[in-house]
Amino acid sequence: MLKVFNLPDLGEGLTESEILTWKVAEGDQVTVNQVLADVETAKAVVELSSPFEGAIARLHAEPGTVVEVGAPIISFELPGESGGESPPAGEASAQDGPDGGTQALPDGRVPTLVGYGAAADTGKRPARRAKAGGAGTQAPPQPQGTAPSQPALPVSTPPSTDGTGERPRSTPPVRKLAKDLGVDMTALTGTGRDGLITREDVQRAAAGGASPAAPGSPSQAGAGTSPAAGQGSSSGGVRTLCGREREVRTAVQGVRKHTAAAMVSSAFTAPHVTEFLTVDVTETMELLERIRRHREFRDVRVTVLTLAAKAVCLAMERTPEINARWDEQAQEIVGQHFVNLGIAAATPRGLMVPNVKDAQAMDLKELAGELAELTETARAGRTAPAAMSGGTFTITNVGVFGVDAGTPILNPGEAGILALGQVRRQPWEHQGQIALRQMMTLSLSFDHRLVDGEQGSRFLADVGQLLSDPAMAMLR
């Protein structure tokens, strides 16, 4: 029988997701929990897993399509069943318990957010089965007596260079870059591992005159043929930047769309105040070098951000107001006796702010490990939606870009955000003399509804003192 799977809510009441890439094709046999697609929500890229074992009867959306939650995205042909089409996955079914709750399957699996977990006896994701019958560019025939849920629509498969009909192997950010630069990925040979097409491959093709993008792509719509890389345009010999088209439009969606809306809302809702403090962090930098040589930290990446995160958690003990939130509906200030520390991370899909849960309870080694894993996961596009929610305070390290200071905008729902500037050697008074010291500027923005000027200043001064004289942490 046919089973229609609707796009589920992938977290925090999100209303839509974009299909980045399909991992399967029509006609493929799939198993429970096998990854079907990479989808991008407003907060993260999520792997969508199969809730069923069976054959892919139909893919309802092409890559790049934004799908509303609850809309059909894939149909399965389930083995050993008959009787027409069943209700879409997520609606009432025989697996619902009598009280409306969720009932476990016979092998111990229970429904998860996007399907069913692995069987209880192994706890492992089943391996993907080999494809049956090639690339599956045509939908399998409908079983007799079964009516499709809606008229069949053609689902195109991107061309390839190897004749298999599969999409060229690359990552979603690289495919987006190729689309923006007008590079035909099917004409490229990947230099990455196992033939993966890398960002450098795309950039090299764009600089050297790659094949034009497929007709109808955004970079060619209404533009005609663009000039070859490094040459002027045909109209008057006007040269373009790096040989690219004069203008490229990119749809604002996914993470960037969410970030833009959140920042505008925050900037015009919370009354921001920003204060600056320049700190002599010479002793902290010396401590950092000693920590890195310590045997307990040989396998842990400890940075200035790690020490600043620890200082923030310690300083909050004296100024808990900086960790509160404003309840607009109840018109109340909510004190929070835990710190979910957000770390702003620049990724190919835009700014993301995942957070370390209960950072206040971690020692320095635990905090360093969590921060390293958090940033690596974010930059790889694997951050789960849950890691993006519930933050109470954020740190953004603009110093890695060579920036000294700024006026950071609050993450919505948080009372404060601290920007770390670059550490640079400059003349400074030390013990009554001018000496070259390692200096850093801290920029603290806070919500003036929650934090008074005295409280914000005290918190910033405490963080500065801990980074200036890390031995002060022994007194707390």
Do 362 and 383 contact (CB within 8 A), yes or no?
Answer: no
Residue 228 structure tokens: 């070859």
Distance separating alpha carbons of residues 367 and 63, to the nearest angstrom: 38
Distance separating alpha carbons of residues 60 and 197, to the nearest angstrom: 27
Helix residue ranges per DSSP H, 105-194: 172-181
Long-range contacts of the stretch 358-366 (C-beta < 8 A, 24+): 359/309, 359/313, 360/313, 360/316, 364/291, 364/302, 364/306, 364/307, 364/310, 365/296, 365/297, 365/300
- The residue among 172, 170, 167, 174 whose CA lies nearest residue 44 is 172
Q: Is 106 helix (H, G, I), strand (E, B) or coil?
A: coil
Residues making up the chain, counted from first to last: 476
Do 342 and 414 contact (CB within 8 A), yes or no?
Answer: yes
Do 323 and 392 contact (CB within 8 A), yes or no?
Answer: yes
- Is 430 tagged catalytic? no
Question: What per-residue string of b and e applies to 123-150 under the rule 16 or more CB within 10 Å gives b?
Answer: eeeeeeeebeeebbeebeeeeeeeeebe
Catalytic residue among 272, 294, 337, 448: 448
Question: What per-residue string of b and e applies to 383-417 under the rule 16 or more CB within 10 Å gives b?
Answer: bbbebbeebbbbbbbbbeeeebbeebbbbbbbbbb
Question: What per-residue string of b and e applies to 263-290 under the rule 16 or more CB within 10 Å gives b?
Answer: eeebeeebebbbbebebbbbebbebbee
Distance separating alpha carbons of residues 459 and 318, to the nearest angstrom: 8
Residue 91 backbone phi and psi in degrees, to 5: -90, 175
Cα separation values, 92 from 86, 88, 102, Å: 10, 9, 10
Distance separating alpha carbons of residues 362 and 193, to the nearest angstrom: 37
Cα separation values, 389 from 257, 384, 386, Å: 16, 10, 5
Catalytic residues: 448
